[in-house]
Structure formats: structure tokens, C-alpha cells
Copies of this chain bind each other. A is one copy, B any other.
Amino acid sequence: MKSPVPPATVQRLPLYLRALDDLPQGRTSLSSTDLAEHLGLNPAKVRKDLSQLGSYGVRGVGYDVEHLRFQIRLELGMDKLWRVVIVGAGNLGSALANYGGLGVRGFEFVGMFDNSSEKIGSQVGSLPVEPMDQLPGAVAERGATIGIVTVPAGAAQEVAEALAKAGIKSILNFAPTVLKVPEGVHVRRVDLSTELQVLSFYLSRQ
């Protein structure tokens, strides 16, 4: 099974899903053009993306909202609940822990770790800050598969290795570093200073 959905398409599936959720209640179908306008994309791109999941559209009509939402959620693995641990109980880690409770459905934050003795034992949102040596046990017992790294750059590589060793298969890295991880571990990077520098580039030429 497991058709090879192109990475570029995978990145847009969450946008389609959100566009469907934003639709006024009672809306039962919509066209590729509707979706494209809402997201600032080309309609042909929308159709190609959606046709990667199978052919769920109806010619002359468009896509059935409920059915499409279901299929995208399935494709993204959002039919499951994913458990997430955060390493780094600083400002950013705390913000994500709180943000997550509200905004991110389908993901549950099940642990917050840090190695600073000042932070250990304190409470961040609904999570107690635990020491790093409890990470492996916690990942296994609580069934976490995703790790979020919000430690300073200097500690990130070490943390990534600890996460990988603990069995984490996907890492979201907020530290400004490129992580080296074992085969089979997925890393995505979210990098404030890189983003600002890219904006700076485009600002300085105009």
C-alpha cells in the first residue's frame, strides 16, 4: 500500500485540512478553485495534490467536504493520537506546552524535560518538569513518538541523541542547529533566526 505521496504535497495536506475546517457549517462540497483561492494556490496544484490520495472528486461538482476531510486526516495519520515530549523548559518550551493544550488536536503533550535543577519539579502548564534521566522510561511508558527540542543550540545535538536513543522517531527542532540523527529518525527544523534573515534578504533589495 503506502503510495508515494510527494513531499511537496505532504506539506500542503495540513493546509487543505485546515481550510476544510474553516468552512462555514453546512457547506457540503467545494471545488479545487475554492480551495486554491482560500490558500493562495493554483487550482491545478490542488487537484494534483488531492488526486495523490485517490480520486475523491466528482466531475462537474467538486469534492465532498466530509469525505475529503476524512481522507486527508487518514493520509496524515491524524486518525491516531500522537504523544509528544518536550525537552527544554525555557520560555519557548513553556509557550508550546500551553499552546499545545489549546490549539493542536491529535497531539498530546505527555512530558516536559530539562536538566536544570532550578526548573526540575516546577510545573509548566499541566506538566511537571522532569530530569533528563527519566526521559527513556517516560518515552517508553507513555508511548511518545515525537520529541520537540527547545534547548539552546549548544545542547541540541546531545538532546537529539538522547531522544533517538529513547526510541523517538520524529523530532521538531527549534534550536538553531542542524541535527545529526540516526537513520529512520525524521527531523523538521523551525528556526526563528533563519526566518528573520530570509526576510532581511528580501527587505534589503527593494
- Residues on the B chain within 8 Å of A192, using CB: 96, 99-100, 103-104, 172, 190
- Residues on the B chain within 8 Å of A25, using CB: none
A61 part of interface (Cβ distance < 8 Å)? no
Assess whether B92 is in contact with A178, with CB atoms less than 8 Å apart.
Answer: no
A1 (CB) vs chain B CBs: closest residue: B205
Assess whether A201 is in contact with B77, with CB atoms less than 8 Å apart.
Answer: yes
- Residues on the B chain within 8 Å of A193, using CB: 14, 18, 103-104, 107
Do A197 and B92 contact each other (CB < 8 Å), given the known contacts A99-B192, A103-B176, A203-B82?
no
How far does the alpha carbon of A190 sit from the alpha carbon of B191 in the complex, in Å?
A: 9
Do A2 and B205 contact each other (CB < 8 Å), given the known contacts A15-B194, A178-B15, A197-B14?
yes
Assess whether B172 is in contact with A196, with CB atoms less than 8 Å apart.
Answer: yes
Assess whether A13 is in contact with B92, with CB atoms less than 8 Å apart.
Answer: no
- Residues on the B chain within 8 Å of A84, using CB: 196
Assess whether B10 is in contact with A178, with CB atoms less than 8 Å apart.
Answer: no
Assess whether B96 is in contact with A201, with CB atoms less than 8 Å apart.
Answer: no
A204 part of interface (Cβ distance < 8 Å)? yes
Choose among B18, B197, B204, B205 the residue that contacts A13 (Cβ–Cβ < 8 A). Answer: B197
